[in-house]
Each structure stands twice: as C-alpha cells, then as structure tokens.
Amino acid sequence: MSATTIETAMDFANSAEAPIPTGVQLTPFDKAFLNDPYPILKRLRDAEPIHRDNTLSRWFVTGFDNVREVLRNKDLSNDINRALPESYTGRIASNAKDSGMSITINSILFMDDPDHRRLRSLVSKPFSAKAVEELRPRIRANVAELLDTITEARFDAVESFAAPLPVIVISEMLGIDHADRTTFKKWSEDITAGLFNPLKLAEQSARGALAQQALTEYLSRVIETRRQQPGTDLISTMIAANEGDERMTDSEIVSQCSLILVAGNVTTSDLIANGIKALLQHPDQLAALRARPDLIVNAVEEVLRYDSSVIQANRVVPADTSVAGCPMHKGESITVSLASANRDPGTNPEPDRFDIRRKDIRHQSFGGSKHLCLGAHLARVETQEAVLALIQRFPNLSLVEQEFNYRPVPSFRALMQLWVRRE
C-alpha cells in the first residue's frame, strides 16, 4: 500500500462517512491509536463489536466473548498464506515473501495442524511451567546483574533493563554468545516491525529483510556447529529432537529459533516496560506491591489485562462459514483485538482501573486454544522477577516524563523509552 493510499484511508476513516473507528484508525499508524488505543477500541466495541473494516479488508472483533470464540475456533486458520492477497493478513504474507522474511512466517505461529502439532511437540518441553520454574533462579540472577549496572540517578528503564533481560534469557536458552545479544535485540525489533506490516511501508520492510537475512545466516552457522559439538542448549535439543520418526529440518529449526527470538524477546521486553509504567503511574498500587511482594503474580496478570504488549491476533477463514454469528467467506482475514477484549466491562468490571488486587482477572493476552503462546509462562516469570526486583532495589523510583512514545508496529504495544529517576 502506497503513502497516498494510506493518506486516502486515513481521510476516509476521519470523514463523516465513518461514524465509528475503522481502517488506519485501528492501527498504530494513527497517532491517537498509537498513543492510547483503549478509548478508540471502546467506541468500536460499544457500537459494533464485530466490525467489517473494508478499508483494510478484514473483520475486526472487539468483545471478550467473541474474541475468545474466534481464538478457540479450531476451524479457523493461522496460515496467513491462505488469506486473500488483498486482505489484511494476505498483505502481511505477501510483504514477508517480497521482503525475504518467509522463514519466520514458516514458524509454528503461522501453522495449522498437523505441522503445527508436530513442531510444537518437538520444541515445547523447555517452555513448560516446570522447566521455566527451574530457570527462575537463573532469571533472578540475570535481573540482579542488570540492576547492578544501573548507576545513574536518571535512566531509561527500557534500554537499561526491560530490553536486555529477555534477550539474555533467550540467548542463554539457545546457547548464543554473550557478545551477540545486542545484535539479536536489534534484529528482533527490525523483523517485528517489518513482518507485521500490512501497509507494506518500504523502510520497515527493508530493515526487516536485512535483519532476517543476517539472523538466518547466523543461526545456520550455529546449527552446523551444534551438529558437530552438541550441547545442552535449545538448538542442540531441536537438532536431536524426534517424535517417532519425526525430526526437525535445518529450515524448521531456523524458523522456530527466529520466532523464539522475535516473539519471546520483543514482547516480553514490552510487557516488563508496560508493567513498570503502570505501577509508577498508580502510586497506590506500587505501595501495595511493596508492602506485599506476594501480590506480584496477580500484579503481572493485571498488567497483561490492563496494558498487554500484544494487542491483537489474526486468523484466516479457510472456507465459507459463520463466525460469531456473522457470515464470512473463504480467505477473509479476522483481527481479534486482545486489548479491547481485556477491557470489556462485561468480563472485567471497571476495566480502565488498574488494580493489582483484582479478583478473577480474565485476559486473552496469550491467545488461546492450540495456539496459546508457547512462551507464556516464561514471559510471566521474567516479568514477575524483573518488576519486583526493580521496585525493591530502588524504593523511591519515579517517572521523569508523563508523555510516552510508542513504536508504530501493528499488533504490539511497545514503549520506545521509559525515563525514570531513582532517589
């Protein structure tokens, strides 16, 4: 989609012909949505919970029950290659192919069964709740080491803390050299921005393509080394993995590692930053957590509900059907707004109130059904350890600025910076 087309779409979305938000208004390429999507999503959820977004050629679903229904619908597809070319997810697929990022869309995130089931079974063990809990002491040590490096009274909590922690954890799991971690972080961000880019913005696509090529070449070299010298890391485990006669090809290993680095790295960094911001903006909740550290588990669930790092997911209609009572046709795209579902007052009363003591928190931030996020427990543990350690190490932590800049990347809610002061 050209810049002119984007401007036309924005003009349409802001015209009197569109009484409810639609098109680019429902993406972070619209400044109001980028800064605060929740009032916009509320307007749409109240007016039309299942909305036909003709501008971007997709269905946009906002209510909690309807979002859950879509996520649990086993007949819908995650394979974006099955989408109509001009649909929302079809554009993501074609952009990935045109930009040389097909390797990542061949990961389990974009697969259906039986391939999804086969590959997930081969890579899931290190991400089980039991395995992640065994990692908790090492994650706690990583957090402490990072905090030891913060010596300035005023610092960017994203750059100094939230961003490096997940890449350290993932790199250790994959057996990646310490010196390459900063590069991995940059590659992850560029691939995310380039891949989830239905508007085909040229600069994002180009950066994503270069990052994907570099990452693929790097991982291919690591795989070859591990074949000769196996270790206990996740890449060695993938090489040796088998389920009956099933094994993973080198291409499949690269695809899964790309997904783990991109999804597990960027989204957890963003979740940690969003959690720090929410607590610092709500001093009463921060005080409650300091007084009762055992609230950290519930606090992270509330962050996931209140301001998740992943705000939407996509599905493809593989054959004519009816979804949430609406007739839908083969190849059409469905976007489910996780952010809107999480703030549906019918599910979470007073949804705009941040409350770490909230009872019966219900959110869709990790998706659902067979595509429930593989790294959900790892993200939870990292965020729990990071947020609690930060506020305990710096008991007088406060925000320096009250205005925030977010990266304009569809599907994600990602702070670019979070300047704080420790006194």
Q: Compute the distance between CA of residue 118 and CA of residue 242 in angstroms, rounded to an integer.
A: 10
Query: Positive or negative CA dihedral for 193, 196, 199, 200?
Result: positive
DSSP lists the bridge partners of residue 165 as none
Residue 244: the pLDDT is 58
CB neighbour list of residue 46: distance below 8 Å, 6 or more residues apart:
none
Type of residue found at 308: S
401's tokens: 């600025």
In this structure, the strands spanning 242-243 and 419-421 are: unpaired
Asked: is 3-421 a CATH 1.10.630.10 domain? The reply is yes
Q: Quickly tell me which residue has 């909690």 as its tokens.
A: 64
Question: What is Dmax (Cα atoms) for the chain?
Answer: 65
Type of residue found at 320: D
Residue 9: the pLDDT is 46
Instruction: Give Cα 157 to chain centroid, integer Å.
Output: 19
342's tokens: 């999480």
State how far the alpha carbon of 294 is from the alpha carbons of 35, 52, 118, 161, 297, in Å.
32, 44, 38, 22, 7
Which pLDDT tens digit goes with each residue over 378-399?
Answer: 999 999 999 999 999 999 999 9
Map out the domains of the chain as residue ranges: 3-421
Contact 365, 338 (CB under 8 A): yes
In this structure, the strands spanning 333-337 and 58-61 are: parallel
State how far the alpha carbon of 1 is from the alpha carbons of 87, 100, 192, 306, 318, in Å.
12, 18, 18, 32, 24
DSSP strand E in 244-306: where?
Answer: 246-247
Residue 185: the pLDDT is 80
Residue 245: the pLDDT is 64
Residue (of 105, 109, 115) closest to 373 by Cα position = 109
DSSP lists the bridge partners of residue 421 as 154, 398
Instruction: Give Cα 102 to chain centroid, integer Å.
Output: 19
100 burial type by CB count under 10 A (0-12 exposed, 13-18 middle, 19+ buried): middle
The CA angle 97-99-101, to the nearest 5 degrees, is 65
Q: Quickly tell me which residue has 């930053």 as its tokens.
A: 273
CA atoms within 13 A on the CB side of 217: 8
Residue 324: the pLDDT is 79
SS3 of residue 131 by DSSP? helix
Q: Compute the distance between CA of residue 257 and CA of residue 185 in angstroms, rounded to an integer.
A: 13
DSSP strand E in 257-386: where?
Answer: 312-316, 321-323, 326-328, 333-337
Q: Compute the distance between CA of residue 73 and CA of residue 271 in angstroms, rounded to an integer.
A: 27
Type of residue found at 274: N
Directed axis angle between helix 164-174 and helix 129-148, to 10°?
Answer: 130
Asked if the bond preceding 327 is cis, omega within 30° of 0, the reply is no
Residue 275: the pLDDT is 98
Residue (of 207, 160, 203) closest to 417 by Cα position = 160
List, run by run, the mean pLDDT of 10-residue segments along the chain (423 residues). 43 52 95 97 96 97 96 93 94 80 75 90 90 96 97 96 93 86 82 73 80 89 91 90 73 87 85 98 98 98 98 96 91 98 98 98 93 93 98 96 91 96 89
DSSP lists the bridge partners of residue 419 as 156
The CA angle 40-364-72, to the nearest 5 degrees, is 115
SS3 of residue 285 by DSSP? helix
Contact 410, 197 (CB under 8 A): yes
Q: What is the pTM of this model?
A: 0.91
Alpha helices (H) in 48-163, listed in sequence order = 64-72, 88-98, 102-105, 115-123, 129-148, 157
Q: Compute the distance between CA of residue 421 and CA of residue 384 in angstroms, rounded to an integer.
A: 21
Supply φ then ψ for residue 221, to 5 degrees.
Answer: -65, -40
232's tokens: 């206990």
